[in-house]
Structures are given as C-alpha cells and as structure tokens.
C-alpha cells in the first residue's frame, strides 16, 4: 500500500496553450491520471472497478495555481487520499517540478457510485482497506 503516490509526467508540446505554458485543463488531466495510477498501484486497476460494478466519479475539483509549467518540464504529481466517508473521498495532489518547486496544489472530491444505478453506494471494505488516509507530504 502506497499512501503518497508519485506520478511522473513530462510536459509535452500538446500541453502548451496560446500563452506559452501548460493549459489549466491539463492539470486536471494530470491529477486524474495520477489518481488512476495510484489506485492501480494499490490493487484497484480500472477493470477491477468494472468487475465490481461501481467506481469513482468526480463531484468537484479545486486547483490553486502557483507557477506555470513549460514544455519539457519534468513533473511529479504527488497524490494521496486525505479523507473518506461512506460513499465519498477527498484526494489531494501536489504538482511539482522534479527539482521540488511546487507549481500547484489541488483536491478532488470523489463519489463512489453504482455504475448501473448511477447513484452513490457504500465504499466496500476491501477497497477502503487498500488506501491509507494521510495529510500528505
């Protein structure tokens, strides 16, 4: 079990917007990719959720942008589960350059839903046990 997961990303040309730095929506894409990779690393790849018939959907994103990212920047997206309730969870992120310079902080409120009914459902114990809650780095 990995409490704080580190997801590497190199800022690509297609991440750059008309202002010459990474576009804001790419940060959301990176955080979601980090969350999916963290889940897989803790034994819950995407297929396991499909087999269960339930999984995570985003209720809200919040991002605080501190500094821009540029093409070629080597990033580490750190992610961890900060809190969990019966059918929801808050996951936090810190996006850094490989040098440790913090570019952004973010959090996502996730709801755990039954795919068929499209309604919140209780997080199974077998899933909850795979993630250690932490305040982060």
For residue 80, the model assigns a pLDDT of 98
pLDDT < 70 regions, the chain: none
Q: Are 134 and 84 in contact, with CB atoms under 8 Å apart? A: no
Residue with tokens 């990303």: 9
Burial of 20: CB neighbours in 10 Å, binned 0-12, 13-18, 19+: exposed
For residue 137, the model assigns a pLDDT of 86
State in Å, rounded, how far the first CA of the chain is from the last one. Answer: 16
For residue 1, the model assigns a pLDDT of 74
For residue 119, the model assigns a pLDDT of 97
For residue 2, the model assigns a pLDDT of 83
Please tell me the pTM assigned to this model: 0.94
Per-domain residue ranges of the chain: 5-79+105-128
From the candidate CATH numbers 3.20.20.210, 3.20.20.10, 3.10.129.10, 3.10.290.10, the one assigned to the domain spanning 5-79+105-128: 3.10.129.10
């Amino acid at each position: 079990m990995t409490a704080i997961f580190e997801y590497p990303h190199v800022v690509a040309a297609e991440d750059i917007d008309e202002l010459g730095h990474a576009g804001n929506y790419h940060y959301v894409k990176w955080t979601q990719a980090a969350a999916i990779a963290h889940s897989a690393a803790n034994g819950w790849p995407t297929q396991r959720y499909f087999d269960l018939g339930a999984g995570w959907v985003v209720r809200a994103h919040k991002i605080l942008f501190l500094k821009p990212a540029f093409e070629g920047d080597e990033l580490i997206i750190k992610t961890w589960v900060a809190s969990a309730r019966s059918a929801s969870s808050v996951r936090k992120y810190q996006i850094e350059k490989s040098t440790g310079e913090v570019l952004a902080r973010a959090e996502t409120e996730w709801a755990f839903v039954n795919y068929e009914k499209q309604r919140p459902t209780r997080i199974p114990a077998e899933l909850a046990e795979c993630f250690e809650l932490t305040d982060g780095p």
